[in-house]
Amino acid sequence: MDHSNLIESFADFARHKNVDRPTMIRILEDVFRTMIKKKYKTDDNFDIIINADKGDLEIWRFREIVDDNSEDIWDYDKISLTEARKIEPDFEIGEEVAEEIKLLDFGRRAVMTARQTLIQKIKDLEKDNLFLKYKDLVGEIIVGETYQVMQKEVLLIDAEGNELNLPKVEQIPKDRFRKGDSVRAIVHRVEMVNGNPKIVLSRTSTTFLERLFENEVPEVFDGLITIKKVVREPGERAKVAVESYDDRIDPVGACVGMKGSRIHSIVRELQNENIDVINYTDNLELYISRALSPAKISNIKVEADEGRVSVYLKPDQVSLAIGKGGHNIKLASKLVGLEIDVFRDLQGGEMDEDVDLEEFADEIEGWVIDEFKRIGLDTAKSILALSLEDLTRRSDLEEETILEVLKIIKQEFE
């Protein structure tokens, strides 16, 4: 392979990889200087001239002519008069010899090694550029196309064919992807693994939800509404505290949109995740009350020093405060930064109120509650009204299980 073919093939490869001309010339020169150092020990007295467009390469070696008996004759930048006159017969001592070095003078093996080195340098440059590109995109939404679905992750490709990773733990539990599907996610982190950039995406991050709000709500994007805090149980429920510095703008209304038009598109993207948008306030008690929505609170006792708050609700509001699977109270605690303890407010005449069986879900297993409901018993007092024998006869529950349920329910009314 002569120098023109080498330069042309490399230039084509570099252009295919979108490498700019100055970078391409720099890489070529670095590789050729490495070849020169390997053969001549130094490249200080060499000039390299490259025209990548035409495939031209010139390597010139410059040396000063000295007397054959000079002590400097062994210096890298000196040449004896006898050797100089083999190049040009009329050279004299003190003149400079410019000698062109052909690429083939380095040997066929060195040229092949140079070709492989050039290609590898471009690939390394491509990896570095990809790493830097996505490093700047961390926290931003991108769209990828699904091309392989595996047990622990989904592999996507971006518009330029780069591989992106969406691990199982960063997927919403209800996510189901098929090859060819477009997927929106944020760039969660970028890391180098064995010299290759690994781009990890996330759909469970709170930042993903923030970016979706920015995309769907112009007032958030423009900074008229600020998202103070986001907490979420991916695919189940999320709470978003928002604040407006313009009294004319209702932050909650703007985020929800006319008839929920803005929030609905976000909910669909998050696999029907239930999103509560609440007005942020510095009034802690009011903030806690809003965080526990849709439950209505009777009384609040804040113990900020201990990081806890006691909330008292009427019995019919307790299940609303706790929420399905405990998500509502868990997210409310994260939102306000305090551990929330829920208590039933049974003062005065409320002592005689009945309690829905679902409110004991944290103490009685679901299948047991379902069995009582099957026989028409869905409140605490409806169970207490029957004898142990009746309960055993009417249900498929063991006597021991029923006794345990009775014990739990009786404690509620003590």
Domain annotation for the chain: domains and CATH numbers: 3-125 (3.30.1480), 137-204 (2.40.50.140), 281-346 (3.30.300.20), 354-413 (1.10.150)
Q: Averaged over 35-62, what is the pLDDT?
A: 82
Beta bridge partners of 301: 310
pLDDT(349) > 50: no
Instruction: Give 214 or 360, the one with higher predicted confidence.
Output: 214
Q: What pLDDT does 176 receive?
A: 93
Q: Where does the pLDDT of residue 89 fall: very low under 50, low under 70, confident under 90, or very high at 90 and above?
A: confident
- Give the type of residue at 296: K
Q: 62 pLDDT exceeds 80?
A: yes
> What pLDDT score does 53 carry?
64
Considering the entire predicted model, what is its pTM? 0.68
Given this model, what pLDDT does residue 361 score?
Answer: 83
Question: Which has the higher per-residue pLDDT, 160 or 7?
Answer: 160
Q: Three-state SS string across the chain, please?
A: CCHHHHHHHHHHHHHHCCCCHHHHHHHHHHHHHHHHHHHHCCCCCEEEEEECCCCEEEEEEEEEEECCCCHHHHCCCEEEHHHHHHHCCCCCCCCEEEEEECHHHHCHHHHHHHHHHHHHHHHHHHHHHHHHHHHCCECCEEEEEEEEECCCEEEEECCCCCEEEEEHHHCCCCCCCCCCCEEEEEEEEEEEECCEEEEEEECCCHHHHHHHHHHHCHHHHCCCEEEEEEEEECCCEEEEEEEECCCCCCHHHHHHCHHHHHHHHHHHHCCCCEEEEEECCCCHHHHHHHHCCCCCCCEEEEEHHHCEEEEEECHHHHHHHHCHHHHHHHHHHHHHCCEEEEEECCCHHHHHCCCEHHHHCCCCCHHHHHHHHHCCCCEHHHHHCCCHHHHHHHCCCCHHHHHHHHHHHHHHHC
State yes or no: pLDDT of 354 exceeds 50. yes
Q: Higher pLDDT residue, 401 or 413? A: 401
> What is the number of alpha carbons within 13 Å of residue 176 lying toward its C-beta?
1
Alpha carbon 159 to chain centroid, angstroms: 18
First to last CA, the chain: 95
Closest CA to 238 of 201, 280, 284, 205: 205
Mean pLDDT taken over the chain: 86
Unique residue bearing structure tokens 């994007």: 221
Asked whether the predicted pLDDT for residue 156 surpasses 90, the reply is: yes
Confidence of residue 288 (pLDDT cuts 50, 70, 90): very high
What's the confidence (pLDDT) of residue 1? 46
Rounded distance between C-alpha atoms, residue 306 and residue 297, angstroms:
21
Q: Would you say residue 135 has pLDDT above 90?
A: yes
Question: What is the share, in percent, of the chain residues with pLDDT greater than 70?
Answer: 92
Question: For 227-280, how does the pLDDT look when each residue is reduced to its tens digit (9 = 90+)?
Answer: 999 999 999 999 999 999 888 899 999 999 888 889 999 999 999 999 999 999
Residue 152, pLDDT score = 92
Query: Distance (Å, rounded) from C-alpha 203 to C-alpha 220?
Result: 20
> What is the band of 77 on the pLDDT scale with cuts at 50, 70, 90?
confident
**Of 152-161, 270-279, 339-348, which gets the smallest average pLDDT?**
339-348
Residue 232: the pLDDT is 95
What per-residue string of b and e applies to 192-221 under the rule 16 or more CB within 10 Å gives b?
A: eeeeebebbbbbbbbbbbbbbbbbbbebbe
